[in-house]
């Protein structure tokens, strides 16, 4: 009896291992080609794409077939700028003092699933309390449904900078002075320490802020707040650990310093000027525009009492600028990677960014590439994600209609697969 049980177990295992999934695609946008392909089949084994075939194929009797003949199929989308721990509201500032890490973790699990079901199978989380590192681990273990996460842990800025949570509060409002442990550092030596702490805690990208920001209580959103030497110290230390650096920056001078300092990407780039565009092209620096976040804060600023007065002013000044600057950057030839700043607006609405990119002059296929092949390149994951290609993760999404004719079709997913597992199939 034991021998028979063992034999049946082996046969079952072999059957499960041998099973393939054949995804029949009416139209396929593979993430790299300039033109879509018609009547294609993607073959998936386990977590991996093993073949892309012309025509509709079915495999063997034991294989699974998914019929997407009336849909447009794309690689799983990538958002290079999210904040999965939170979502902006009238009470966001108060919640810094009332929510525990457990509260944040439960919220983050909801936001992660919402992001995945929106078709974003990989994201880069650019800063939170550190719960984002635990969330990344939970998703990787299969305990929580969510996108594949690359995270910065805590972001880093100088004293009084965008990441200094004590901005605008009296000196004794917190029980300690903010320092590298909190992502607040001054001078190259403290910057080095702050990077090392984030690496120690498990971050796989470093986020800094070389200018002020909108959603803090400081007065200036665009002034330069890090020196070139400080930025270089961050970049060189991160490089030692194999990590890239993303830089929050609104003002032109802070952007210039960040590019010269060697960051991989400028986040937002609201007031980039022609010199910044030229430098970004010279250094190969990506712009991650986050247009939807700008529009969202500008809209919220119109609601009485939604923001404190200082944030309301900055939201109006900065939020209305990002889309136009993005359009100029694209026309100037700056490399663009898709990112939205999700959490500043409602999670799950990430694909609205495509609409705003197209409105600013980017062709639909280029906008899609920004969220596939370009985003994968920025994240250093081109060998794993970003296209429908042999050997890459089976991250596959589909929509009704043609996003090249109507980019808004990407705002409603009909099919979502990540790592070969189906999360939505309508």
Q: Kindly list the structural domains of the chain, giving each domain's residue range(s) and its CATH number in brackets, ordered by start.
A: 2-76+387-425 (2.30.40.10), 77-379 (3.20.20.140)
| Span 254-306, pLDDT tens digits | 999 999 999 999 999 999 999 999 999 999 999 999 999 999 999 999 999 99
Q: Are the beta carbons of 195 and 184 closer than 8 angstroms?
A: no
Q: Are the beta carbons of 305 and 311 closer than 8 angstroms?
A: no
pLDDT above 90 covers a percentage of the chain that reads 84
276 vs 253: CA distance, rounded Å: 8
338 vs 119: CA distance, rounded Å: 13
Over residues 107-115, mean pLDDT: 98
By mean pLDDT, which of 236-250, 294-308, 368-382 is the weakest? 294-308
Q: Is the pLDDT of residue 15 over 90?
A: no
294 vs 321: CA distance, rounded Å: 8
pLDDT grade, residue 95 (50/70/90)? confident
Predicted pLDDT at 14: 46
pLDDT grade, residue 17 (50/70/90)? low
For residue 24, give the H/E element and its range: strand 21-28
Q: Is the pLDDT of residue 108 over 50?
A: yes
Q: Is the pLDDT of residue 218 over 80?
A: yes
| Span 336-356, pLDDT tens digits | 999 999 999 999 999 999 999
Give me the residue label for tokens 């999934």. Answer: 21
pLDDT grade, residue 174 (50/70/90)? confident
Over residues 142-163, mean pLDDT: 95
pLDDT grade, residue 50 (50/70/90)? very high
pLDDT higher for 17 or 348?
Answer: 348
Mean predicted lDDT score pLDDT of the chain: 93
Q: Which residues of 165-184 are buried (b: 16+ CB within 10 A; e: fewer)?
A: bbbbeeeeeeeeebebebbb
pLDDT higher for 162 or 156?
Answer: 156
């Amino acid at each position: 009896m034991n021998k028979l049980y063992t034999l049946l177990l082996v046969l079952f295992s072999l059957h499960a291992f041998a099973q393939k999934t054949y995804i029949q695609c009416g139209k396929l946008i593979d993430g790299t080609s300039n033109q879509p392909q018609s009547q294609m089949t993607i073959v998936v084994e386990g977590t991996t794409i093993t073949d892309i075939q012309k025509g509709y194929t079915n495999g063997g009797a034991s294989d699974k077939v998914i019929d997407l003949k009336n849909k447009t199929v794309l690689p799983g989308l990538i958002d290079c700028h999210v904040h999965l721990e939170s979502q902006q509201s009238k009470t966001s500032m108060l919640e810094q003092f009332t929510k525990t890490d457990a509260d944040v973790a439960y919220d983050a699990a909801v936001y992660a699933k919402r992001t995945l079901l929106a078709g974003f199978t990989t994201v880069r989380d650019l800063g939170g309390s550190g719960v984002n590192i635990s969330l990344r681990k939970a998703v990787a273990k299969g305990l929580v449904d969510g996108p594949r996460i690359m995270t910065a842990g805590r972001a880093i800025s100088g004293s009084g900078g965008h990441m200094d949570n004590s901005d605008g509060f009296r000196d004794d409002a917190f029980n300690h002075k903010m320092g590298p442990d909190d992502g607040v550092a001054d001078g190259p030596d403290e910057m080095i320490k702050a990077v090392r702490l984030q690496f120690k805690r498990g971050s796989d990208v470093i986020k800094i802020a070389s200018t002020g920001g909108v959603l803090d209580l400081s007065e200036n959103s665009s002034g330069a707040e890090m020196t070139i030497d400080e930025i270089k110290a961050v970049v060189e230390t991160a490089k030692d650990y194999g990590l890239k650096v993303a830089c929050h920056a609104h003002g032109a001078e802070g952007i210039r310093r960040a590019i010269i300092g060697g960051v991989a990407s400028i986040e937002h780039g609201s007031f980039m000027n022609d010199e910044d565009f030229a430098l970004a092209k010279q250094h190969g620096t990506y712009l991650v525009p986050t247009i939807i976040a700008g529009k969202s804060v500008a809209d919220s600023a119109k609601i009485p009492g939604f923001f404190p007065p200082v944030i309301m002013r900055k939201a109006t000044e900065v939020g209305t600028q990002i889309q136009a600057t993005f359009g100029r950057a694209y026309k100037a030839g700056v490399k663009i990677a898709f990112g939205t700043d999700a959490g500043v607006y409602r999670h799950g609405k990430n694909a609205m960014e495509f609409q705003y990119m197209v409105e600013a002059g980017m062709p639909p296929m280029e906008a899609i590439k920004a969220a596939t092949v370009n985003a994968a390149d920025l994240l250093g994951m081109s060998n794993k994600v970003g296209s429908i290609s042999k050997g890459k993760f089976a991250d596959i999404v589909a929509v009704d209609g043609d996003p090249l004719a109507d980019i808004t079709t990407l705002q409603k997913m009909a099919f979502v697969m990540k790592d070969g597992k189906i999360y939505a199939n309508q």
